[in-house]
Amino acid sequence: MKRNILIIGPYLPGKSFGGPVKSLYNMVETLGDNYNFYIITGDRDLNSNKQYESVKIGKWNQIGKANVLYVPNEENRKYLRHSISKIKFDIIYCSSFFAKMSILVQLLKFTKEINIPVIIAPRGEFSSGALEFKVFKKRVFLMLYKLFKINKLVYYTCTTKNDEKDIKSVLGQNIDIIIAGNIVNTNKSDNKLIKKEKGCLEIVTISRVAHIKNIDYSLNLLKEISNSNIYLKKINFDIYGPIEDELYYKECLKIIHNVADSRIKVRFMGIRDYDEIVDVLSQYHLFLFPSKGENFGHVIQEALLGGCPVIISDLTPWRNLEKLGVGFDISLSKPQVFIKKIVKFLGMDDKEYISYSNNAFKYGISKVKNQSAIIENKSMFEVVLNKMI
């Protein structure tokens, strides 16, 4: 008999939540023959005032291999309690630590209203970059959280040893934590090559427009290049994704305005559907992503699958990229190294660039085929099912 797993977190048809939706969708569609997945999620996209129109709100919907309940705004407690009382779940899996409904689940576990195992997937929320935001609220909550020993009542999961280190540095060393990689998926089978001319560069990033994604850092790199004597004919930098932080977006616009160079054009391109992302990325020469911290970085995987080499920070699991010939992972304390590597791509001709593009595509495909993450996620659920907290 298949066991029932309740997932709490963002889901389709939302477009603005980024990686967490992809992580959950890939897990559900890959393991949906092994477990019955139920998902409780919100009734609208990130920062949206409108409910989803393509699903029934307040009722269970069959979405792929999952039954999904879209909860009306501010009614989380009511629907969660009702669902737990009506359906015999074996595990609750929360795709966040600080999200409101995840906090609710953890509090209900503390009060013993929930008496089944709970798994918390913090999704990079304990990285140094993520902890910079809403510092006071997080400190107070974490102080109370550890005071009442809620960290001893639940399991945690993460994707890498670095994630595990971040989580333990905040929640303590003696917690139950399971490493299980993100399951990736794609139907892409060949590399779509684009022409590359010396002195010309098409740069892209796809992310939420928010401080942690560090878009202003990228813009300042381009400003430095503009002010240098580097041979430059044209740089286009397109930014895809939802505007999460309006003030930060305005800060970025100011930097763009100060790049008084007709050879450099920056555009905010809005949101794209998840199934369009790889094709969008395949139209660019370079993916630039100096993020302050990523739990996984699905969009890095997608850039590689699009044959788009990457220049990223060293605060993601994607490391040693230079040795692989697919890009560079660089410390944010070294902006001049970022500039040097961008200039390297700027100066490439078609022949040299094709080699990088093909390497990126092959590496992306190899990560899809190496699906140890499937075994790790199945093992995570089985370990938790076989022992109770």
CATH number at residue 215: 3.40.50.2000
pLDDT score for 19:
87
Q: Is residue 192 part of a domain?
A: no
Q: Which of 55-64, 274-283, 369-378 has the lowest mean pLDDT?
A: 369-378
**Taking residues 273-291, what's their average pLDDT?**
95
**Taking residues 174-187, what's their average pLDDT?**
87
Q: Is residue 234 part of a domain?
A: yes
Higher pLDDT, 184 or 173: 173
Decide if 125 contacts 102 (C-beta within 8 A): no
Same domain? 17 vs 161: yes
Q: Is residue 143 part of a domain?
A: yes
Burial of 85 (0-12, 13-18, 19+ CB in 10 A): exposed
pLDDT score for 105:
97
Q: Of 314, 325, 122, 293, which Cα lies nearest the Cα of 208?
A: 293
Q: Does position 242 have pLDDT exceeding 80, yes or no?
A: yes
pLDDT score for 189:
61
Same domain? 144 vs 274: no
Same domain? 62 vs 101: yes
Same domain? 232 vs 315: yes
Using CA atoms, how far apart are residues 199 and 183, in angstroms rounded to an integer? Answer: 38
Q: Is residue 188 part of a domain?
A: no
User: How big is the CA angle at 298 (ends 325 and 186), to the nearest 5 degrees?
Assistant: 85
Same domain? 155 vs 222: no
Q: Is residue 189 part of a domain?
A: no
SS3 of residue 9 by DSSP: coil
Q: Is residue 195 part of a domain?
A: no
Q: Is residue 248 part of a domain?
A: yes
Number of CB atoms found within 10 A of residue 55's CB = 18
Which amino acid type is present at position 172? G
pLDDT score for 348:
97
Q: Does position 58 have pLDDT exceeding 80, yes or no?
A: yes
β-bridge partners, 38: 6, 67
Using CA atoms, how far apart are residues 22 and 112, in angstroms rounded to an integer? Answer: 31
Same domain? 173 vs 219: no
Cα–Cα distances (Å) from 150 to 46, 108, 389, in that order, read 28, 10, 11
Beta strand 60-63 with 66-71: parallel, antiparallel or unpaired?
A: antiparallel
Range of the domain at 293: 200-369
Buried b (16+ CB within 10 A) or exposed e, 180-204: bbbbbebebeebeebebeeebbbbb
Same domain? 221 vs 356: yes
Mean pLDDT of the chain: 94
**Which residues, 6 or more positions from 353, have their beta carbon under 8 angstroms from its beta carbon?**
196, 285, 345
pTM (predicted TM-score)? 0.84
Decide if 292 contacts 132 (C-beta within 8 A): yes
Decide if 259 contacts 282 (C-beta within 8 A): no
Half-sphere exposure of 100 (CA within 13 A, CB side): 10
Using CA atoms, how far apart are residues 64 and 44, in angstroms rounded to an integer? Answer: 19
Same domain? 136 vs 223: no
Same domain? 162 vs 18: yes
pLDDT band, very low/low/confident/very high, at 295 (cuts 50, 70, 90): confident
Number of structural domains found in the chain: 2
Using CA atoms, how far apart are residues 178 and 96, in angstroms rounded to an integer? Answer: 15
**Which residues, 6 or more positions from 249, have their beta carbon under 8 angstroms from its beta carbon?**
209, 243, 268
Q: Is residue 191 part of a domain?
A: no
Same domain? 150 vs 223: no
Same domain? 365 vs 380: no
Using CA atoms, how far apart are residues 328 and 273, in angstroms rounded to an integer? Answer: 27
Q: Look up residue 35 and give its two tokens.
A: 């477990």
Burial of 151 (0-12, 13-18, 19+ CB in 10 A): buried
Using CA atoms, how far apart are residues 84 and 72, in angstroms rounded to an integer? Answer: 17
The number of angstroms, rounded, from the C-alpha of 32 to the middle of its chain's C-alpha atoms is: 21
Express as a percent the part of the chain with pLDDT over 70. 98
**Taking residues 337-365, what's their average pLDDT?**
96
Q: Look up residue 76 and give its two tokens.
A: 């989380």
**Which residues, 6 or more positions from 23, have their beta carbon under 8 angstroms from its beta carbon?**
95, 123, 182, 183, 296, 298
Same domain? 231 vs 152: no
- Number of residues written out for the chain: 389
